[in-house]
Amino acid sequence: YATIKGFGEYGPQSDYKGFEFVAQAVGGAMATTGHPDRPPVSIAPGVGDSGSGLHAAIGILAALHKRERTDKGQKVEVSMQ
């Protein structure tokens, strides 16, 4: 099976809530947009959401491929941050 969390399964920030704009802000993407005297502006919507979903799908496919060869399942963990 697979999980997607904003800040991963383990570590000091693992219980933090995360979604698209949080990932953009914490990851530094918002620091590259907008003007210094105005609030941050998000980059294209859905980059973090679709990116983490895509990485999860690729991880799931790789895990399924390995299961076919080894008969062992895996857990796929993806972090937005």
Residues known to be catalytic: 49
Question: Which one, of 39, 18, 35, 38, lies nearest residue 27 by Cα?
Answer: 18
Residue the block writes with tokens 């399942």? 73
Question: Quick one: angle between helices 47-70 and 20-27, nearest 10?
Answer: 100
